[in-house]
Chains A and B, each alone.
Chain A
Amino acid sequence: MEPSALGNVASLAYSLPEIVLGAAVVLLFLLDLVVTRKETLGDVALVTLALVVVLSARLLWGDSAALYNGAVVVDGFALFFKLLLALAAFATVWMSLGSREIQKNGTGEYWAVLLASTLGLLFMASSTNLLMAYLALEFVSLTSYVLSGFMRHSRRASEASLKYLIYGGVASGTMIYGMSWVYGLAGSLDFRAIHTALMSGQGAALPLYVALLLTLAGLGYKVAAFPFHMWAPDVYQGAPIPVTAFLAVGSKAAGFALMIRFFFTAMAQSVGAGVYQLVGGVDWSQLILVLSMVTMTFGNLAAVAQQGNVKRLLAYSSIAHAGYMLMGFAVLNDDGLRAMLFYLTVYYLMNLGAFVVVMLVANSTGREDLAGYRGLAWRGGALPAVAMAIFLFSLTGLPPLAGFVGKFYLFAAVVEKQLYLLAVVGVLNSVVSLVYYARIVRTMFLEQPTGGEGVVAVDWHNGLLLGLLTIGTLVLGVAWGPLIDFAGRSTHFLAY
């Protein structure tokens, strides 16, 4: 199946979500100049994102097409991620509207920058060209720096933003250097043309391997995989909580989307029945396999050692989860990718939910440290405490929650490919992760409040979001069929 590339004007009809989002960014900047009540801008952003979700979903019934002379593509795979990313942004805006941190620093440009970042994420999910991929990734990075340093008078936030900028600059610089090598070796920036060139035996294996390693730096940085994870704990801790949630869910998902698209369409060849073969003599699946094991082990061990800040702990947990998801990447078939896509969706629900609870506690008490959760269930926060327990056990991968189903599919794909070592390391890691997740649950339920922690109140706005995410985590734990089918269908678009 060879979708012919459409020209600029013909492409517009397929990029309605992006156009709406881009127009909204411009509109929000202008509105910021005239509107005095800044929450209005948040409402506008919320409505825009709802519209983007609907418009993206509508495209699911249309045909696949290569747009803008082959720079981006609209197909089932891109749309799966667009839906996920738009929903992540929607939840982030919802969270931001109920966040004390954002309200205190209330300026209008926050909403515009958040939507701009979402626009970059959508392009990351759909780019089929190295230039477009680089631009989208940088766009997301630049807006993320601004978002994480948004609390201008907080020393912590500025420092986080600075570290993010330095790591990000180096990582993306390394990535584009790797891309320049790929361009030199394959003679094109287009994923499909690179694939064709590699299939015809063009490009020596060793330089190509180096180029891939360099390129992996930028992608690994976006998904926070070892050894490009260093920014994550600092930035997660320093940024406002909704922004942290956005980075943990949105950035990571888009990073995986781009990574899958690049490696599976440019660096691999489909041999039918959903199985892929390496091209160009570069065994990147072995590399990813090692990366996956190291990432999850590092993330979990660091999280076990982490006693203080809960946001920082969730940062290490998110590194570990990047490791789990890379397992599906290493097996080189549609089953693995399907498991990855499914896990990303589940991860969206449970991780975002955990951050909503963190925000509720911080809203009421201003605390983010583990001691601030002491006896949470017994001082007004019974609902968030129960929800948090559900999210954390789901993150661990305990049945009957969604996280268990996600992990089950990942491990099934790995075992089927007979990568037993990877499976064993993965299971051991899940056991280790129980240590620190259970520690939070124990602090919330089994320890009595000493009285100094303050009462945690739940307003309907945040409560509704928390409820929806909890229901999602519970429902996907028992009725995962439709989503896994949808994820499976979405992976078929990569092969050609």
Chain B
Amino acid sequence: MNVPVENYLVLAALIFAIGCAGVLTRRNFIVILMSVELMLNAVNLTFVALSRQLVSMDGQMIVFFVMTVAAAEVAVGLAIFLAIYSQRRTVNADEISLLRW
């Protein structure tokens, strides 16, 4: 069975929207970071589907880089969480509000 490219794009758009919604509604920073990863995975799906559609390798190549960048982002994110957690024993977005005006 040949799945048309539109289906992949719609699925990717849905995943991206779920990721966005997660970032906006969740309160735990680790879950927020996971939602960001979800957005990046939607991007990867789009690129791979389009790459097949266009018969070009560029789309697959960029996925490798997006994956690496995502991993680097998680690493830096977790390191910052550790610093925050050791300072205040929480990773809850509502409780981290020193910087306000």
Contact = CB atoms under 8 A, between A and B. Distances in A.
A and B touch in the complex (CB under 8 A): yes
B81 A177 contact: no
Contact of B99 (A165, A174, A189, A234): A234
Nearest to B23: A170
Contact of A176 (B43, B72, B81): B43
Interface string B52-63: 011010110110
Contacts of A142: 69, 72-73, 76
A25 B62 CA distance: 25
Interface stretch (A154-162, A264-272, A355-363, A404-412): A154-162
Contacts of A203: none
A100 interface: no
Contacts of B33: 166, 169
A233 B32 CA distance: 21
Contacts of A134: 62, 65-66, 69
B84 to A, nearest CB: 5
B96 A162 contact: yes
Interface stretch (A57-65, A74-82, A179-187): A179-187
Nearest to A145: B76
Interface residues of A, number: 43
* B contact patch SS: helix
Interface of B: 9, 16, 19-20, 23, 29, 32-33, 36, 39-40, 42-43, 46-47, 50, 53-54, 56, 58-59, 61-62, 65-66, 69, 72-73, 76-77, 80-81, 83-84, 87-88, 96, 98-99, 101
Given A142-B76, A161-B80, 7 more contacts: A153-B87, A158-B84, A166-B23, A170-B39, A173-B19, A180-B46, A306-B101
Nearest to B51: A183
Contacts of A162: 29, 80-81, 84, 96
Given A131-B65, A180-B43, A184-B46, A155 B98 contact: yes
A312 interface: yes
B65 A145 contact: no
